[in-house]
């Protein structure tokens, strides 16, 4: 056995405990860092060749392990741009150099340009809705742009489509054939069995445009000789509310150029289910709008008339707030209560998160051991949910770290005693010469 060997082994042990103490120091220092993942030190032995009567002490080596896949506690905040991930996945962010990296630190706030930036200065990345609903690029970061929530001024969106649904009373009588009583004739008072609904849409400048819908039963067919299952047909006539007559007891006649702005029919089977397409476009010569209305949600049952319309579009309104939902969609919320999607925030993951390369700023990059980065939207392909107004805390167990510190201190002291003992033996050998 070599005395120098035992001293080198003791030095190896002290170095190993110093590394252990370094990870403990990092963990304690970052116990309040948003999204921080604890690191720990693993030990493995180094063995030198020995003969039967001569043992050579080896040493110990260390490696650092990361607990990246361990979820930290989620706490709620008062900031709507604070984001936490419940489950697997990482936010995709970029630093000043423009390189995309991964993080769990979601303490985002607006910078002077309106970009969402976390405490380490990394910008949140997402897909823009400028060209419609975005699609995710599963094997890369192409198409991602900084999420900017500066939405100044007024925004108006013209209506291009709408959905109208409800019920038409199956007990309604068929309208007389006389043109004067048919809404499509635009001549006189309709029958009491004609039902009127109104719906608000928006022109290109964000002005409200109201349309009046008239539903009139025009035929009841009972086989034979009618097609099997056909029960009745309803006429749908649509007019501009602003062009209604202002005198008398009826809105008719409307003064819209060309009469109605939409005309079609709905056909129902014997069970009250619609068997026609239900598509009736509104072509407005005044505003220049073409609104594709979908009325396929109507039924004809023995119940009162009921209807509700939900067109798209938006009145001229300023942005009041920005909200983010669990699917990662960033919405601009307008003063009138309407919303508009701006971005969709994706999440990314790797096969072995604990093997990611840790970088300054509490961010990670993929490497050969972690596996390639796979991108997807929240709540798809095993990815977690985004929680707005919340933050994920560090997963450091402070009590456990303090225990590690004491153990490391004791082990370091014991290794130093081995070194000191070896030094004392060397003194004895030196003194034999004297």
Residue 286 near residue 292 (C-beta atoms within 8 A):
no
Task: Tell me the DSSP string of 312-339.
Answer: --EEEEEEEEEEE-TT-EEEEEETTS-E
Q: How far apart are CA 202 and CA 87, in angstroms?
A: 41
* Cβ pair 356, 366 in contact under 8 A: yes
Q: What is the DSSP letter of 78?
A: S
Q: Which residues contact 108 (CB under 8 A, 6 or more apart)?
A: 81, 82, 83, 116, 117, 118, 124
pLDDT of residue 194: 84
Question: pLDDT, tens digit, for every residue of 159-201?
Answer: 999 999 999 988 888 866 555 567 888 876 666 678 889 999 9
Q: Is the pLDDT of residue 258 over 80?
A: no
Q: Which of 56-60, 97-101, 105-109 comes out lowest in average pLDDT?
A: 56-60
Q: Which residue, chain included where needed, has tokens 């598509």?
A: 279
Task: Please say if the pLDDT value at position 5 is more than 60.
Answer: yes
Cα 332 to Cα 30: distance, rounded to the nearest angstrom:
34
Per-residue pLDDT, 21: 94
Candidates 2.60.40.10, 3.30.420.10, 2.40.30.10, 2.60.98.20; CATH matching 159-312: 2.60.98.20
Give me the chain's average pLDDT, please. Answer: 87
111's tokens: 């910078």
**Helix, strand, coil distribution of the chain in percent, nearest 5:** 15, 40, 45
Q: CA distances (Å), 179 to each of 176, 184, 216, 221, in order?
A: 8, 8, 13, 21
**CA dist list (Å): 127 to 121, 145, 345:** 20, 6, 6
The answer to whether 248 touches 254, Cβ cutoff 8 Å, is no
For 74, half-sphere exposure in the C-beta direction (CA atoms, 13 angstrom radius) is 16
Q: At what angle do helices 398-433 and 3-29 cross, to 10 degrees?
A: 160
Domain map (residue ranges) of the chain:
3-67+395-433, 74-154+318-392, 159-312
Q: What band does 96 get if pLDDT is binned at 50, 70 and 90? A: confident
pLDDT band at 385 (very low <50, low <70, confident <90, very high): very high
Q: Note the pLDDT tens digit of each residue in 124-136.
A: 999 998 888 888 8
Considering the entire predicted model, what is its pTM?
A: 0.67
């Amino acid at each position: 056995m070599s005395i120098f060997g035992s001293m080198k082994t003791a030095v190896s042990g002290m170095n190993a405990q110093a590394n252990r103490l370094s990870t403990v120091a990092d963990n304690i220092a970052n116990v309040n860092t948003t999204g921080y993942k604890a690191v720990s030190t693993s030990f493995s032995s180094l063995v030198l060749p020995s003969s039967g009567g001569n043992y050579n002490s080896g040493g110990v080596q260390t490696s650092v392990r990361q607990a990246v896949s361990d979820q930290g506690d989620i706490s709620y905040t008062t900031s709507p741009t604070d984001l936490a991930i419940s489950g697997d996945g990482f936010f995709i962010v970029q630093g000043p150099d423009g390189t995309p990296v991964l993080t769990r630190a979601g303490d985002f706030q607006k910078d002077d340009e309106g970009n969402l930036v976390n405490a380490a200065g990394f910008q949140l990345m997402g897909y823009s809705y400028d060209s419609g609903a975005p699609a995710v690029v599963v094997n890369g970061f192409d198409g991602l742009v900084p999420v900017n929530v500066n939405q100044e001024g007024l925004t108006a969106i013209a209506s291009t489509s709408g959905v109208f649904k409800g019920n038409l009373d199956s007990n309604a009588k068929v309208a007389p054939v006389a043109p004067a009583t048919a809404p499509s004739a635009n001549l006189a008072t309709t029958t009491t069995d004609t039902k009127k609904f109104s719906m608000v849409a928006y022109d290109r400048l964000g002005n409200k445009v109201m349309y009046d819908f008239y539903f009139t039963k025009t035929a009841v067919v009972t086989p034979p000789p009618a097609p099997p299952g056909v029960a009745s047909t309803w006429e749908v006539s649509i007019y501009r509310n602003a062009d209604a007559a202002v005198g008398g007891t009826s809105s008719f006649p409307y003064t819209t150029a060309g009469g109605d702005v939409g005309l079609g029919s709905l056909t129902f089977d014997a069970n009250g289910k619609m068997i026609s397409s239900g598509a009736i476009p509104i072509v407005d010569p005044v505003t220049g709008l073409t609104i594709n209305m979908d009325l396929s949600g109507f039924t004809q049952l023995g119940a009162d008339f009921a209807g509700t319309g939900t067109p798209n579009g938006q009145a001229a309104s300023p942005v009041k707030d920005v909200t983010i939902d669990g699917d990662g969609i960033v919405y601009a919320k307008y003063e009138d209560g309407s919303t508009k999607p701006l971005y969709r925030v994706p999440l990314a993951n790797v096969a072995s998160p604990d093997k990611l390369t840790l970088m300054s700023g509490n961010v990670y990059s993929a490497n050969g051991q972690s596996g390639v980065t796979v991108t997807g939207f929240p709540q798809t392909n095993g990815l977690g949910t985004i929680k707005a107004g919340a933050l994920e805390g560090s997963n450091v167990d402070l009590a456990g770290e303090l225990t590690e510190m004491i153990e490391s201190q004791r082990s370091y002291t014991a290794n130093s005693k081995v070194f000191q003992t070896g030094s004392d033996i060397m003194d004895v050998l030196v003194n034999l010469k004297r």
